Each structure stands twice: as structure tokens, then as C-alpha cells.
């Protein structure tokens, strides 16, 4: 089997969440960060035939990219990448030592649902880099929803705000760590619960991220 460019992009993204990855039979990939603050699910084109573990996903992808769209053949203890005269034997890692999701997340009731465009997500990331700030807040303000990049430890630090064009009658201030915003670039439907969990659903691909909120978040206050 070959791996599509779409799946390669997802694997590259997942490698930024966790270097470990457990492939399972079927057309779904799942990963979770070491700190358990980010979990991601993706439906993919390929149908993997068996369970196998990869300890260093970046290394796996680098080996794959040494060839031009290599074929993968799966054995009990290793897989083989081949492209004409080239062959790579890649041994699986022990599943028991790898970090992987132990169960699916069932989202609780979400008080806030908003659309975050790829353009605004990019602006948030760039503003955080320029300002050196590590927090993003979605907050109610004047009947609308504002995304703010700020420094939670310094109330006098410069901030960056975007009016998301979403109306809300609720009162909330939902805070995220910028370091947890590791999703692929794109448009997202963001559903946020006061139980400190959120779902970021990609608008164009079957791709979901579940991201924990910071404990400083508030709802109804």
C-alpha cells in the first residue's frame, strides 16, 4: 500500500502532538499528547491491515520521504518500504511503551459554539509569536465573542483582539494555552464546554481535536 499526501500531512501534524503513534486496523488515526491536554482523531483514505507501533513518528516520516511514494508491506514484526531498488526495513515498537489514547472523548454539553477561520487562526498564532504571549481567550463582550491573545500573568502587557462576528448571550472567558493549538491550518467549528474541554472540528476534513482549557477559565461569572 501507499500513503496519500493527505495522510502524510496528518501524520506530520500528529508528530507535533506526540512522537509516538499506534496504528490500528482500519481507516482512523488517533493520538494524544504526553500531558493529555490534546487528543486528535482523523479519518484517512488508507485501510491499515494491522496494529503496529511507531516510537518516533518524525523518524518514520523521514525514512518514508527518502523514497518517492514507496510501497509498504507489513510483516509481524516490521514493515518494508520499497521503491524500485531501494528497501527499508522498519521494526515496530512495543505497544506497551507508547503513549496512546485509552478511550474516546464524549463531549459534554457545550455552552459556546463558534466558527474560527483559517485566516483568524493564522493571525492568532502570529500575534502570539510577535507578542511572546502564551494564552488565548474566547470571551463574551457586548453581545459578541472576542478572541484575545494576552499574558495571563501581566495585566498591563499588550494584547491582540479579534471580533469573531459571533453573537452570544452567555457570559464567559474560556482560556487556552497557545502551545496546545497544534491543529492543521484550516477553518474550524469550535465547541467549548465549561467542564474545561473543547472540540475543534476541521471544516474541510474528517479531523477533530479535543483540547483542554486552562483552569482560569470561567462561565456565567
Q: Show which of 45, 63, 97 is a domain's final residue.
A: 97
Q: Are residues 54 and 136 in the same domain?
A: no
Q: Are residues 88 and 155 in the same domain?
A: no
pLDDT in tens, 62-105: 999 999 989 999 999 999 999 988 999 999 999 999 999 999 99
Query: Does any domain span residue 51?
Result: yes
pLDDT of residue 168: 86
Q: Are residues 69 and 142 in the same domain?
A: no
Q: Where are the beta strands (DSSP E) in the chain?
A: 21-23, 26-32, 38-48, 52-54, 71-74, 78-83, 86-91, 112-116, 135-141, 144-150, 160-167, 172-177, 188-193, 197-202, 207-212, 218-219
pLDDT of residue 74: 97
Query: Does any domain span residue 31?
Result: yes
CATH number where 74 lies: 3.70.10.10
Considering its fold, how many domains does the chain have in total? 2
Q: DSSP letter for 153, please.
A: T
- Is the backbone of residue 160 left (phi > 0), alpha (psi -120 to 50) or beta? beta
Counting as low any pLDDT under 50, the low residues of the chain are none
Give the CA dihedral 160, 163, 164, 168, nearest 10 degrees.
120
Q: DSSP letter for 93, please.
A: B
Q: Are residues 66 and 152 in the same domain?
A: no
Q: Is 133 exposed, middle or buried (0-12, 13-18, 19+ CB in 10 A)?
A: buried
Q: Which three cell numbers stand for residue 20?
A: 509516538
pLDDT of residue 119: 97
Alpha carbons 165 and 168: distance in angstroms, whole number: 10
Query: Does any domain span residue 154?
Result: yes
Q: Are residues 81 and 118 in the same domain?
A: no
* Structural domain harbouring 74: 5-97
Q: Are residues 71 and 142 in the same domain?
A: no
Q: What is the pTM of this model?
A: 0.94
pLDDT of residue 155: 87
Residues in Cβ contact with 129 at an 8 Å cutoff, skipping those fewer than 6 apart:
none
Q: Are residues 72 and 122 in the same domain?
A: no
Residues in Cβ contact with 95 at an 8 Å cutoff, skipping those fewer than 6 apart:
22, 51, 53
Give the CA dihedral 176, 180, 185, 188, nearest 10 degrees.
-40
Residues in Cβ contact with 75 at an 8 Å cutoff, skipping those fewer than 6 apart:
none
pLDDT of residue 169: 86
pLDDT of residue 167: 87
Q: Are residues 129 and 79 in the same domain?
A: no
Amino acid at each position: 500500500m501507499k500513503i496519500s499526501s493527505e495522510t502524510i500531512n496528518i501524520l506530520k501534524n500528529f508528530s507535533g502532538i506526540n512522537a509516538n503513534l499506534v496504528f490500528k486496523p482500519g481507516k482512523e488515526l488517533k493520538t494524544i499528547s504526553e500531558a493529555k491536554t490534546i487528543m486528535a482523531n482523523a479519518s484517512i483514505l488508507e485501510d491499515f491491515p494491522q496494529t503496529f507501533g511507531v516510537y518516533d513518528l518524525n523518524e518514520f516520516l523521514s525514512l518514508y520521504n527518502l523514497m518517492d511514494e514507496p510501497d509498504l508491506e507489513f510483516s509481524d514484526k516490521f514493515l518494508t518500504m520499497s521503491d524500485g531498488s531501494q528497501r527499508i526495513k522498519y521494526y515496530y515498537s512495543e505497544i506497551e511503551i507508547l503513549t496512546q489514547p485509552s478511550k474516546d472523548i464524549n463531549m459534554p454539553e457545550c455552552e459556546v459554539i463558534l466558527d474560527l477561520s483559517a485566516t483568524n487562526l493564522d493571525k492568532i498564532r502570529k500575534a502570539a509569536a510577535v507578542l511572546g504571549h502564551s494564552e488565548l481567550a474566547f470571551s463574551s463582550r457586548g453581545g459578541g465573542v472576542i478572541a484575545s491573545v494576552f499574558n495571563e500573568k501581566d495585566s498591563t502587557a499588550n494584547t491582540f483582539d479579534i471580533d469573531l462576528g459571533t453573537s452570544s448571550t452567555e457570559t464567559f472567558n474560556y482560556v487556552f494555552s497557545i502551545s496546545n493549538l497544534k491543529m492543521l491550518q484550516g477553518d474550524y467549528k469550535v465547541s467549548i464546554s465549561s467542564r474545561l474541554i473543547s472540540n475543534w472540528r476541521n471544516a474541510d476534513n474528517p479531523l477533530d481535536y479535543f483540547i483542554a482549557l486552562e483552569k482560569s477559565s470561567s462561565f456565567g461569572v
